[in-house]
Amino acid sequence: MRTVSQCALLLALVMIPPLVPIGLFVSGQPQGYTLVLSPTQYFSAAPWMNVKSIYMKAESNRLYWYIEYAGVMPSDSRSYRNAYVYMDTDKTISTGGQYNGRGMDYYLYFYLYGDNSSSYVRLYKWNATSQSYGSQPTTVTGLTRKSGLDYLEVWVDQQAAGYSAQGLYFYIDHYADTTGVTDASGEYIMGSHQRSITLDGNAGDWGDTPASITFPALSTVPAELEASAFCIANDQDNLYFRIDMRGTPTKSIEAGKIRRNLYVYVDTDDNNATGHLSTGGSEYELYLSSYTGVTRSGYVTMYRYVGTGEDWNFEWMDEGDATVAHDNTFEALIPLTKLGLGASGKIHLYIEDNRWYLSDTFPRPAQYVAFPAVQSTTGDLGIVKLFGSETVFLTVVVGLMLVEAVLVFIIARRGKKQGIPPPP
C-alpha cells in the first residue's frame, strides 16, 4: 500500500508535464520558431524536393523563415533549392504588386546549391512609380549555408522589409531543381527511320529506332528527372522526337507541378557555318515543355534564327501543329514544312543542358498565410483567458484527466488487496 507522501509525489509527477506548453517539445522543431505550415507531400519519388514544414520567428530585429524538407538535398552542383517569399507587410491590398489576391510590398528570393558552391539571397521592394520591384542592399538579408541540409534558413532585417507588430501576410513560390539533360549533339538522315508515330507518350510504335543521342548517366535523384536517350524518326509529314527517362515518369501529383523543359537546336541545311554558330549552325530553336500535375500537359514553341551568327536573335514562329505528349516516355511532333524539310537530307541537332524541377506554392489551397497567426476569439471564455491560451488550458484539462485516472487506478488496487467489506 502506498503512503500519502508517495501518492503526492505521483500526483506531482503527473501534473508537471501538462503545465508546460506543448509547443516547446515539438519533435524536430527548430528552437524559437513557430510552425506556420505543414503541407502534404505528393511527390514521393524525391523526398529532398518536398517541403515538409515551414517555420517562422521574429527575433533580434530579424524576420526568419525555416523551410524543412522530407529529405537531405544531394551534395552536388546539379541539385539546388530556391524560393520566392512574397510579403504584404502593410496588410493593404491596394499597395504593392498584385499577386495571389494581395498587394505584395516585398519579396525575398534565395537559392542554395547542394554542394554549397553557390548561394544567393536578396530582398526586393515594390516601387509604385515604376510599377516594379527594386533590389535592396545585400546587408539586410542572410542565408544559412551548409552542405547536406534538410532545410533552408533565411532572414531579412525587419525594418528593411517593413515588418511591424501588426505582422504580415505572405506566400512562397518554391522550386527544387536538378539537371535533367546535359549539352549533347547528334545527327539524323531524313527517311532513315520512317515511322508513323501516334503521339501518346509510349514507345511501342517506334520499333527498333536507335537513339540519335545517348546522355551520360548523372545519378540524378530521382532518376525520372534525368534523360537517358533522344530518338528521331519521320514520316512524309512530321518529324518526331522521343526523350526517354532513366526512371518511369510519375503520371500525376495532386499539388504542385513537375516540369521538364528541353531546348533543341536544329541545323536544317547541314552547314554549321550558317545559322546560329554557338549551337552548331542552327536555323531553328525548338522549346519542348511538359508538365505533370493533377493532369499532364505540354507544348512546343518554335523560333527561327534571324541573327548574324554570333547573337541570339531568334524570332518566334506560329507553332502550328507542333505538340508534345508524355506517359512512359516523352514524344514531340513538328511538321516538316515548319522546318523547311523534305524527304531527304541530313539534319544536325544540338541539345542545351537544362534543369527539371518540382514547383509548388505554399500555402495551398489558401492564397496566403498570416504571421503571427490570427488568434481566434470564438469561445474565449474567462477560464481560457486565465490560462493565457486555449493550448495551455486544454493541456491542463488533459493533465487533470490523467490525474483522475491514476487516482481511480490506485483506489481500485487498494480495494482489490484489502477486499470489499461486507454490508453492515
Tens digits of residue pLDDT in 57-66: 999 999 999 9
Give all strands (DSSP E) within 114-183, no chain letters: 119-127, 132-135, 141-143, 151-157, 168-181
Question: Mean of the pLDDT values across residues 169-182?
Answer: 96
In this structure, is residue 235 part of a structural domain?
A: yes
125 shares a domain with 215: no
Give tens-digit pLDDT for 262-299.
999 999 999 999 999 999 999 999 999 999 999 999 99
Give tens-digit pLDDT for 16-75.
444 333 323 344 689 999 999 999 999 999 999 999 999 999 999 999 999 999 999 999
296 shares a domain with 161: no
Q: How many domains does the chain have?
A: 3
In this structure, is residue 323 part of a structural domain?
A: yes
Q: Given a cut of 70, is residue 1 above it in pLDDT?
A: no
In angstroms, the CA 193 to CA 188 distance is: 9
Give tens-digit pLDDT for 348-385.
999 999 999 999 999 998 899 999 986 544 444 444 44
160 shares a domain with 234: no
339 shares a domain with 197: yes
- R_g of the chain, CA atoms, integer Å: 30
333 shares a domain with 197: yes
What was the pLDDT predicted at 382?
Answer: 44
210 shares a domain with 300: yes
407 shares a domain with 365: no
What was the pLDDT predicted at 322?
Answer: 87
CA distances from 299 to 88, 286, 302 (A): 34, 10, 10
pTM over 0.85: no
The grid coordinates listed for 202 are: 509510349
**Residues 14 and 399 sit within 8 Å (Cβ to Cβ):** yes
In this structure, is residue 113 part of a structural domain?
A: yes
399 shares a domain with 259: no
In this structure, is residue 121 part of a structural domain?
A: yes
Question: Mean of the pLDDT values across residues 84-107?
Answer: 96
Most confident range, picked from 12-16, 352-356, 385-389:
352-356
272 shares a domain with 161: no
77 shares a domain with 7: no
Q: Domain with 321 in it: what CATH number? A: 2.60.40
In this structure, is residue 266 part of a structural domain?
A: yes
313 shares a domain with 192: yes
In this structure, is residue 423 part of a structural domain?
A: no
What are φ and ψ of residue 386, in 5° steps?
-60, -35
Residue-wise burial string across 106-142, b where 16 or more C-beta atoms lie within 10 A, e elsewhere:
bbbbbbbbbbeeebebbbbbbeeeeeebeebeeebbb
Cβ count near 261 (within 10 Å): 17
What was the pLDDT predicted at 406?
Answer: 52
* Domain extent at residue 244: 183-352
Most confident range, picked from 28-32, 90-94, 373-377, 397-401:
90-94
315 shares a domain with 253: yes
In this structure, is residue 424 part of a structural domain?
A: no
Tell me the DSSP string of 29-81.
PPTT-EEEE-PPP--TT-GGGSEEEEEEEEETTEEEEEEEESSPPPSSTTEEE
In this structure, is residue 97 part of a structural domain?
A: yes
**Residues 85 and 99 sit within 8 Å (Cβ to Cβ):** no
| pLDDT band, very low/low/confident/very high, at 420 (cuts 50, 70, 90) | very low
